[in-house]
Structure 1
């Protein structure tokens, strides 16, 4: 499975779980809203029920007041309550349309209210009003009134019982709704909590899995790069996956194999080149030595008979032969720089410069001032020695006075050791500063001063191979300062430390 598919599948699964949580919470909110509507409806139903009861009680109270003293004023609440009954009853019915038991009780209450009004209230009012116009005795009137009042009380008791039953049903409905809501809330909370925890666990687990998968395989690639940087070009990454990182691993394996093939071929070419250089140098040096020996034989055989100008020519010829031999040695030394592996060691720069000065044996008129407490470097000793030897010997060779002073100084930057070799010789025109580092380039005629033009080229190649730079600061008549930087760590060591 591709890595992108795994990532997408993980995000999709987490999204599904969070969507489920959102849906559950949405349903919970709908249940809460629905229950709130039921509570509001129930409150209105209970309020209307109480209002209906108050209206019927007002009718009863007004009727009894009128029956006691015959004052029509007491009937005013009766008429008002009776007029409000239809609309209030209809409004209550609208809220219990889906509850047949309450509908039935409302029908019962309405029937009892109509019976109360038709069979008892209206006859009582009419009887009380017509008492003065009838021939009925008070005793007969009281008996009839008492009979109607008893019937009215029985109807009122039935109405009250019907209202109690109606309210009981409403309270039961409200309790059932509350219980269902509480149960729904608890279930939803549990389900939401479980899904949320499950989402977090799966998300963290999937993220950990993907992170470990990617980091482990990247570390394999980093390890491969480190091994390649150390010269192990035969190493390979074992990757059984079939995703995008597998393609990268395969590419790195091909790169490692290609580098191995290239370096193997390069080593073969270098060996061939070394053999060629050895053969060529041997074949070139043999005739040169023959020329030198022949010139000496001529001098020995001719002796004093040899003219002075011929002697001068023979000396010049031997000098050219020596120059040619030195040039061949210089070319061979330049070509071998960087192609042969040399072990690094701890090099005390103070001791190294003391050895260089002793080997060069400067003329009596020259003094070499070397800074004290120079650092100890972990580097190839012979290469650093060759750089100092070439710079100091050049400072002596190209000096224009019998007495001279050469100073060696050092300071450090964050990444480099910086060395400088300064002389008080004739100086170099700035237009020749770049030229002097080119092989075979000299500023004086070779006959005037014996030089191969290879020394500074060797210095430049050694310094740049280490990862440093070399340059000259000079003006005619002001001496010269050759400065070079020597890295505290090689390029390979810096790359390895960056990985770590």
Structure 2
């Protein structure tokens, strides 16, 4: 199975779990909302039922006050109770439209209340108003009063009303308490379910991330190990991957790459060996006849005795051409070998290197060689830097046309490189030749004027570029020439520590 498929499945499963959590929350929320709705409905029914009871009591109290005082203003609570009763009864019936038992209770309440009002309250109120009009009216009032209060006809009807409203009150209180209990259970279940599913999703997510991360990290580490071995030219290592996914394809490609690199390096080493052998054979086969020609020219010069100056000049010119050709062969071999051999780095004093070069060169009379005055430790391949400096300095001496010739060498650290310059007071180089002089076999002077192979500066440029440096020439005719180049700074640990100690002191 592909890694991306595993990732998609893992994420999909986690999303599925969270989707289920959301759905469960939604369903539980619906239950909670329904329970809250039922609790609120029961609370409203209870409150409205209490208001209905209060309206009945107000009507009853208003009736009693009027009967005791005979004053009409005492009937205000009665009329207010009657009006409030009708309003609350209508509200109760609307609230209980889905509760048939409560509707039946309310019908009984309404029946009994109307009976109380029609058979008790309304007749006795009218009789009370007419009680003083005649003896017959007084007797009628006394009869109604006796029936209502002595026989408790009115009380029985009011008690019946209170009984049915009490049933409603009890039923709704019980329902309210039950819904509150259900609501609490729903909330607890919702919380537990949410916590459990969230923990499950987190466990699955963490486990999946760890499993995939560990698998991918281990395999990537193997690839990094292979890449490191390839960088160290160790091509024997291979990757084994049986997962059959994207990284497996990458591992297979890296194995193929390692094998091809191994074949390429083996072929390259073989070609280099053959090239070295060829160069050795060619140089040996070419140098042998050159030496023979040189020896022959010397023997002829010795044997001819006194002869014309032209003949001796031609023999000298022949020997010069032979030496030039031999130097040219050596230069070509040196140029071809640059960058192909591993040279050990050493730490040395730059001034000492210049002193060795000066002692190895033959300086013309009156020629001045100026060294840097400051000490400069350099860690690099000494032989390469020596070859660069020898070529630049020897060129400055060879081509100088002044009787008081001078070569000045400067060197300083410049960021991550050394900036080294070789300046002379010679004839200078025209602008159009500044790039041409670095080409192989390129010279400014005619070869017959100054013996030169035209390969020295090409070797200099190739060495500097192999070290990831750069070289440039600043010169004008009759203004001297300055070659400036950069050389990377590579400080060894021991040198770095000694410098740090000096700084602290």
TM over 0.5, shorter chain: yes
2: CA distance between counterparts of 1:222 and 1:489? 26
Cα distance in 2 for partners of 1:118, 1:193 equals 63
Offset of residue 399 of structure 1: 0.9
Q: 1:430 and 1:226, CA in 2 relative to 1: closer, same or farther beyond 3 A?
A: farther
Once the two structures are superposed, the pairs formed by residues 196-275 of structure 1 within 5 Å of their partners are 196-275=198-277
Residue by residue over 1:235-267, the C-alpha shift from the partner in whole angstroms, topping out at 9 and shown as x without a partner, is 333333322233223223222222221121111
Deviation string 1:264-314 (CA, Å, 9 cap, x unpaired) is 11111111111211221122112212212222222333323x433222211
| Residue in 2 that maps onto 1:378 | 379
Structure 1 residues 422 and 320: CA distance shift in structure 2, 3 A: same
Q: Distance in 1 between matches of 2:198 and 2:163?
A: 51
State the distance in 2 between where 1:358 and 1:223 align.
50
Cα distance in 1 between the residues matched to 2:416 and 2:8: 45
**2:92 equivalent to 1:92:** yes
Residue in structure 2 matched with residue 3 of structure 1 by the alignment: 3
SS of the residue corresponding to residue 379 of structure 2 reads strand
Using a 3 Å threshold, how does the CA distance of structure 1 residues 22 and 53 change in structure 2: closer, same or farther? same
CA distance in structure 1 between the partners assigned to 2:235 and 2:156 by the alignment: 112
Question: Is the 1:424–1:479 Cα contact (8 Å) retained in structure 2?
Answer: yes
Alpha-carbon offset, residue 135 of structure 1: 6.2
Structure 1 residue 65 corresponds to structure 2 residue 43 = no
How far apart, in 1, do the equivalents of 2:385 and 2:38 lie? 95
> Contact 1:53 / 1:163 at 8 angstroms: preserved in 2?
yes
Whole-Å Cα distance in 1 between the matches of residues 289 and 212 of structure 2?
A: 72
Q: Which stretch of the first structure deviates more once superposed, 398-407 or 361-370?
A: 361-370
Aligned residues: 489
**CA deviation map 1:112-134 (0-9, x unaligned):** 22332344334434554665677
Tell me, in whole angstroms, the C-alpha distance in 1 between the residues paired with 2:381 and 2:259: 29
User: Aligned pair in 2 of structure 1 residues 401, 140: CA closer, same or farther (>3 Å)?
Assistant: closer
Structure 1 residues 9 and 350: alpha-carbon distance in aligned structure 2, compared to 1, 3 A threshold = farther
CA separation of 1:411 and 1:195: change in aligned 2, threshold 3 A: farther
Could you say which residue in structure 1 is the equivalent of 2:147?
A: 147
Distance 1:80 1:68 in 2: 19
Aligned to 1:427: 428
Displacement after TM superposition at 1:400 (Å): 0.8
Give the alignment of 1:481-492 within 5 angstroms: 481-488=482-489
8 Å CA contact 1:350, 1:374 repeated in 2: yes
Report the more deviating stretch, 60-69 or 421-430: 60-69
1:43 is matched with which residue?
43
Which stretch shows the higher mean deviation, 228-237 or 44-53? 228-237
Q: Could you say what secondary structure the match of 1:303 adopts? A: coil
Could you tell me which residue of structure 2 aligns to residue 498 of structure 1? Answer: none
Q: Which SS does the other structure have where 1:408 is aligned?
A: strand
* SS across alignment from 1:417: strand
**Closer, same or farther in 2 for the Cα pair 1:45/1:132, shift >3 Å?**
same
The TM-score, its normalising length taken from structure 2, stands at 0.88
Measured in 2, the distance between the counterparts of 1:475 and 1:234 equals 56
CA contact 2:127–2:140 (8 Å) conserved in 1: no
Residues 114-165 of structure 1, C-alpha deviation per residue, up to 9 Å, x if partnerless? 3323443344345546656776596785355223221111221232233233
1:288 maps to which residue? Answer: 290
Q: 1:296 to 1:151 in 2, by over 3 A?
A: same
Is the Cα–Cα contact under 8 Å of residues 424 and 482 in structure 2 kept in the other structure?
A: yes
Shift in Å, 1:450? 0.9
> What is the distance in 2 between the residues matched to 1:376 and 1:254?
45
Gapped runs of 5+ residues in structure 2? 492-505
Q: CA deviation at 1:109?
A: 2.0
Partner residue in 2 for 1:496: none
Q: 1:221 to 1:424 in 2, by over 3 A?
A: farther
Contact 2:32-2:186 at 8 Å conserved across structures: no
CA distance in 2, matches of 1:32, 1:261: 74
Query: Using the alignment, how far apart are the partners of 1:434 and 1:449 within structure 2?
Result: 20
Compare 78-87 and 14-23 and name the one that shifted more: 78-87
Q: Quickly say closer, same or farther: Cα 1:410–1:303, change in 2 above 3 A.
A: same
After TM superposition, the structure 1 stretch with the greater mean CA deviation from structure 2, 53-62 or 176-185, is: 53-62
**Which residue is equivalent to 1:392?**
393
Structure 2 CA distance for partners of 1:327 and 1:236, relative to 1, 3 Å: same
Task: Give, in whole Å, the separation in 2 of the partners of 1:360 and 1:300.
Answer: 29
* Alignment-derived partner of residue 405 in structure 1: 406
Query: Structure 1 regions of 5+ residues with no counterpart?
Result: 491-500
Deviates more, 1:374-383 or 1:331-340: 374-383
Q: Conserved in 2, the CA contact under 8 Å of 1:374 and 1:410?
A: no
SS at match of 1:443: coil
Q: Separation in 2 of the partners of 1:216 and 1:421?
A: 54
TM superposition shift of 1:408: 1.6
In 2, Cα distance between the equivalents of 1:368 and 1:16? Answer: 84
Displacement of 1:21 in angstroms is 3.4
Assess if the C-alpha contact under 8 Å between 1:101 and 1:169 holds in 2.
no
Q: Structure 1 residue 374: deviation in Å?
A: 4.6
How do residues 82-121 of structure 1 correspond to structure 2 at under 5 angstroms?
A: 82=82, 85-121=85-121
Q: Normalised by the size of structure 1, how large is the TM-score? A: 0.89
